[in-house]
Amino acid sequence: MLRLCRTPHHPRLTLRLSPLEPILQISLQRFVTSVGNSHLGTGSWNLLETHRQYQPQVVEDPRLCALLWRDCLAKKTKVGKSFSMLLPPPNITGDLHLGHALTATIQDAICRWQHMKGRDVLWIPGMDHAGLATQMVVERHLFGHTCDRQDSMNPRLQMGREAFVQEVWKWKDSKGSSILAQLNRLGLLLDWSREYFTLSPDHNRAVSEALYRLFKDGLLYRSNSLIFWCCHLRSAISDIEVDHKILTEMTRLSVPGYAEPQPFGYVDVFDYQLAPPHQPFVSKSRKPRSTVPVATTRLETMLADTALAVHPSDTRYAHLIGQSVLHPFCNSRHIPIIADDEHVDPNQGTVFSSGFR
């Protein structure tokens, strides 16, 4: 128990301290000592007559906090119950920001509350390789240090996978020490003896094992489908890493890896060959055709087309419904022609619509 006096004109306050008493006691002593002995009374501390503004450097010593918490957590509680939690690992792409401090403080409060309830607390820290984000940062770092700026070759491809992974580890060591220092300055209740990195061999095996178990239990599936590919990075990217833009006309946009803006929204027209046996149809020029024209601004999606759609009320092409066409790059693939009155406009484009799944 610690007794504090506000002023001689205010009643005495009594504070019952939690198991955090050793840390609070030392912090208060350092605070009072820093403002001078003139503020010390006879057995009482007048805290309201010291600095009007908070002085963090007086009471916040990360080394002291870490040492005291380590000693505090080393003692097993009598309750016998435990509480464990993972710190969402910050990315090693750079230093931490205010958002990290906010979320870490909330988690720290939860851990301290569980400790005050008498539980053995385990809060595990770690760092995340961040996948593509770190790859881009390290490549920019290498581009300025190991490659000629006139060389358009990707430095990662020049080095090879193993050498590039080693560079990522070097980056982690340089940025990780800064991140660790920032977290320690917050005085968090973290057990640094259990620190992990998501690119380590142990965690790679753990992720592979988790994915295998999810697949075995039917919670994940494998399939051949269209994915996003970055031509500059020469790497697959996830859906959430793609910026979608709606274009109403041909537009030139800046693209990584190109000095000049590149055209987008350009309409390409190509033909699908009707698969035999087939019924030719009459084109706008009144000539019989055995090919089906398709116009698209996303020519690359043609590789994954699984169907062509035509409006069922379009008398010019309705008779093709039920037939199929040959894929331009794989003649063994037959793509069916189906009816669709919702997504096909018979008055626009080539009146055929392609789709994939």
Give residue 118's pLDDT: 84
197 part of a folded domain:
yes
Q: Is the pLDDT of residue 198 over 60?
A: yes
How would residue 220 be classed by pLDDT, with cut points 50, 70 and 90? very high
347 part of a folded domain:
no
Q: Are residues 173 and 280 in the same domain?
A: no
Q: Are residues 9 and 99 in the same domain?
A: no
Residues 193-201 have a mean pLDDT of 90
Q: Is the pLDDT of residue 151 over 50?
A: no
Domain boundary, last residue among 222, 255, 282: 222
Give the span between the Cα atoms of 56 and 79, in whole angstroms: 34
Q: Is the pLDDT of residue 202 over 70?
A: yes
Q: Are residues 137 and 201 in the same domain?
A: yes
**Paired residues of 309 in beta bridges:** 338, 353
258 part of a folded domain:
no
Residue 223, helix vs strand vs coil: coil
Q: Is the pLDDT of residue 148 over 50?
A: no
> DSSP states of 100-139 as a string?
HHHHHHHHHHHHHHHHHTTPEEEEE-EEB--THHHHHHHH
| High-pLDDT (> 90) share of the chain, % | 16
Give the span between the Cα atoms of 85 and 125, in whole angstroms: 9
Q: Are residues 283 and 146 in the same domain?
A: no
Domain boundary, last residue among 157, 188, 222: 222
Residues 112-136 have a mean pLDDT of 88
> Which range of residues forms the domain containing residue 275?
267-339
CB burial string 145-158: b at 16+ within 10 A, e below: eebeeeeeebbbee
Give residue 127's pLDDT: 93
Q: Are residues 44 and 85 in the same domain?
A: no
Q: Is the pLDDT of residue 35 over 50?
A: no
Stated pTM of the model: 0.60
Give the span between the Cα atoms of 334 and 332, in whole angstroms: 6
Q: Are residues 206 and 115 in the same domain?
A: yes
346 part of a folded domain:
no
Q: Are residues 69 and 211 in the same domain?
A: yes
Give residue 144's pLDDT: 67
Dig out the tokens for 287 from the structure: 């000539």
298 part of a folded domain:
yes
Give residue 107's pLDDT: 94
Q: Is the pLDDT of residue 14 over 50?
A: no
Q: Are residues 37 and 153 in the same domain?
A: no
Place of tokens 């040959």: 326
297 part of a folded domain:
yes
Do the Cβ atoms of 289 and 281 come closer than 8 Å?
Answer: yes
Q: Are residues 46 and 65 in the same domain?
A: no
- Domain count of the fold of the chain: 3
Residue 307, helix vs strand vs coil: strand
Q: Regarding predicted confidence, which is higher, 27 or 92? A: 92
How many other C-beta atoms are found inside a 10 Å radius of the C-beta of residue 221?
7
Q: Are residues 89 and 198 in the same domain?
A: yes
Q: Are residues 174 and 293 in the same domain?
A: no
Give 41-71 pLDDT, tens digit per residue: 444 444 444 566 766 666 666 666 666 666 6
Give residue 21's pLDDT: 56
Q: Is the pLDDT of residue 255 over 80?
A: yes
24 part of a folded domain:
yes
Residue 97 burial (10 A CB sphere; 0-12, 13-18, 19+): exposed
Q: Is the peptide bond before 277 cis (omega within 30 degrees of 0)?
A: yes
Give residue 13's pLDDT: 42
Q: Are residues 42 and 71 in the same domain?
A: no
Q: Regarding predicted confidence, which is higher, 37 or 143? A: 143
What DSSP character marks residue 257? T
Give 274-328 pLDDT, tens digit per residue: 888 766 665 555 566 788 888 888 888 888 888 888 888 888 788 888 889 998 8
- The CATH number given to whatever domain includes residue 145 is 3.40.50.620
- The CATH number given to whatever domain includes residue 293 is 3.90.740.10
Dig out the tokens for 87 from the structure: 């710190």
Q: What residues have CB less than 8 Å from 257, skipping those under 6 apart?
A: 152, 231, 232
123 part of a folded domain:
yes
| High-pLDDT (> 70) share of the chain, % | 69
Mean pLDDT value across the chain: 77
